[in-house]
Amino acid sequence: MPNAADVLWFKTRFSAPIDAAIAGTPLTVDFLTAIACQETGHVWSLLRDKLPVARVLALCVGDTLDADKGRSAFPTTKSDLLSAPRGAEMFAIARQALVDMAAHVPSFAAVATRPNKFCHGFGIFQLDLQFFRKDPAYFLERRYEQFDAALAKCLEELQRALRKLGLHARTSLSDLELAAVGIAYNTGSFKPAKGLKQGHFDGTRFYGEAILDFIRLAHTVATPGGTPEIAEPPPGQAIVAPPTPVTAEGARFKVRTKESPLRVRSEPAVSDPPGANVLGHLPDGHSVRAVKSRAVNGFLEIEATLNGALLHGFASKQFLVPDDAAADRPVVVAATAPPTTGIVAVTMPRRPGTVTRRRDLANAHSLNEAGQPGRTGTTPEALREEIATIVDWLAVDDTRHLRYQPRAGLTFCNIYAHDACALAGVYLPRVWWGSKALLKLQRGEAVDPLIGDTIFEVRANDLFRWLDDFGPTFGWRRTGTLTKLQTEVNQGAIGLVVARRKEDGRSGHVVLVIPETADATARRDAAGEVTSPLQSQAGATNFRRGTGRAGWWRGEEFAESAFWLHA
């Protein structure tokens, strides 16, 4: 798999011609870099420091699958190619291309010994040989060895994909939309309801998933003379997209409810039940921008940024007052490292030599068993595997793990979320400072953690408030949609859905959102939007992987809910 150094090599040599070629399109250098990484990165990443660039480009060939391995496009076999006009000439080129490339790429050495095998993909962006009958000269004259020619062919296919997806008139696309274009480039179509699990499957990842991984990697590598779109994260953290800013340019308003947070809805109407179409909640006094000037059914379409989340929906106009003098609210960006002075993280002290295990009943201590897994990977694939290992090691559904099993009307979602986050290297408190202790810490005074005096146990409702008040300082930020949340978690980030109970004496709820696998996926609607993320929870029912009850966080028992993300 190409790494950041490989991406830098590619961008250094090819970003200028790509930039010129994609002018006027919504395509990007990082997207074309991702296509090249996925299609032939296994070739050029091995050869870039060993051979001249021209020779590397000539050896960017591949795909030896025949009909016996599922190929259905022309040519399915050697005989199929030979039957075409000038097919024998093309076979000789395709066969020699395989032999030449395999001399440098060991993974192709075995297949190259089979005399009927030949390459079906040509050029750094891999134009398939199915186009031989349409443009034989491109292959027979080996134009694919020239970067500009290979790029032009790639852009032809990408433009076709853009039109098929109805994105050709756009001026910019999100990473997810670009990945969808990549899938259409690979397969000829895209089905939104399937998400990124489409295109060629290599036994581990689908083409769409791989393209998004490479797009994110490319974002961390600057083109010559530039700065990266996303800073390269430290080991054990994911490459997370920056928060989305408010783009609405309409009138400014301020929330005025004098009662409770204002509900932002997905449509200009109160649903039945009332919480069913709620996207989020805005606190009293929060600033918003109108998307359109005219209200519909008493609701105004608005945008607002809240702890890093972009909320775009409809709010009752009776609770919005004009505030044209107000400045736009800045987008909250999560801290890259937790604080080391002032209000710092705290954990429950323990007596020397004591061990807190999964099989023990729940208490205020964090786990410290031998052999605990962690999250230290530097690629999305490694981070996803490590999160899966953490989930399976905690085994919340194992009845021997008494720490998480419901009993006597008590549930332990907060403890499970704390344990999973702690193993992943992310701070989510099990205990937190009391009010007096916080004041002292703010003044720079030293405070000893004393349970019942300076620190107290944190419940699910407390976690909701803690994330709002302290989350960004400790690397957390909100995100506005489940699709964004699941997308970042699929990159190896940590995600939570948290809901605060209306009655403070009753338990709120928090679930861990985890990366999708081949066997366990989120639920999506026909448009591809996530409606229920892949979750792992302790609660009245414990499960490692599932989508849970649809929209549980919008239940009438909860006052408000939020989606939180940590790299």
Phi/psi of residue 88, nearest 5 degrees: -65, -40
pLDDT band at 73 (very low <50, low <70, confident <90, very high): confident
Looking at residue 223, its pLDDT comes to 84
pLDDT interval class at 79 (50, 70, 90): very high
424-471 pLDDT per residue, tens: 999 999 999 999 999 999 999 999 999 999 999 999 999 999 999 999
Give the per-residue pLDDT at 146: 98
Residues β-bridged to residue 535 = 513, 546
Closest CA to 209 of 533, 535, 6, 491: 491
Q: For 113-157, what is each residue's pLDDT tens digit?
A: 999 999 999 999 999 999 999 999 999 999 999 999 999 999 999
For residue 140, the surrounding DSSP H or E stretch is helix 136-140
Which of 284, 227, 225 has its CA nearest to residue 260?
284
From its phi and psi, is residue 279 left (phi > 0), alpha (psi between -120 and 50) or beta? Answer: alpha
Per-residue pLDDT of 148-196, as tens digits, reads 999 999 999 999 999 999 999 999 999 999 999 999 999 999 999 999 9
Buried-exposed string 428-437: b where 16+ CB fall within 10 A, e elsewhere: bbbbbbbeeb
Nearest one of 508, 514, 469 to 489, comparing CA atoms: 514
Given a cut of 90, whether residue 328 has pLDDT beyond it is no
The answer to whether residue 68 scores a pLDDT higher than 80 is: no
Joined tokens for residue 287: 């600033």
- pLDDT score of 546: 98
3-state DSSP of 527-559? CCCEEECCEEECCCCCEEEECCCCCHHHCCCEE
pLDDT at res. 284:
95
Q: Give the start-to-end residue ranges of the domains of the chain.
A: 4-219, 252-322, 380-566
Q: Which residues pair with 62 in a beta bridge?
A: 121
pLDDT in tens, 206-244: 999 999 999 999 999 998 789 999 999 999 999 999 999
- Give yes or no for a contact between 394 and 418, defined as CB atoms under 8 angstroms apart: no
Please indicate whether the domains covering 252-322 and 380-566 agree at the CATH topology level: no
Nearest alpha carbon to residue 538 among 528, 546, 527: 546
User: Which pLDDT score, from 0 to 100, does residue 325 have?
Assistant: 83
User: How much is the pTM?
Assistant: 0.95
Q: What is the pLDDT of residue 393?
A: 98
Q: pLDDT-derived band of residue 72, with 50, 70 and 90 as boundaries?
A: confident
| Residue 20, burial from CB neighbour count under 10 angstroms (0-12, 13-18, 19+) | exposed
The DSSP 8-state label assigned to residue 192 in this structure reads G
Mean pLDDT of the chain: 96
What whole-number distance in Å separates Cα of residue 288 and Cα of residue 320? Answer: 9
Quick one: which of 217, 221, 215 has its CA closest to 34?
215
CA distance linking residue 17 with residue 252, whole number of Å: 43
Question: Contact 430/364 with Cβ under 8 angstroms?
Answer: yes
Q: What is the pLDDT of residues 388-418, one digit of tens each?
A: 999 999 999 999 999 999 999 999 999 999 9
pLDDT of 470-504, one tens digit each? 999 999 999 999 999 999 999 999 999 999 999 87
Q: What percent of the chain has pLDDT over 90?
A: 95
252-322: CATH homologous superfamily?
SH3 Domains (2.30.30.40)
Confidence of residue 8 (pLDDT cuts 50, 70, 90): very high
Whether the CB-CB separation of 239 and 28 falls below 8 Å is answered with no
Res 70 pLDDT > 80: no
Residue reference for tokens 């230290």:
376
- Directed axis angle between helix 29-47 and helix 147-164, to 10°? 140
Query: Topology of 380-566 in CATH?
Result: endopeptidase fold (from Nostoc punctiforme) (3.90.1720)
pLDDT of residue 326: 80
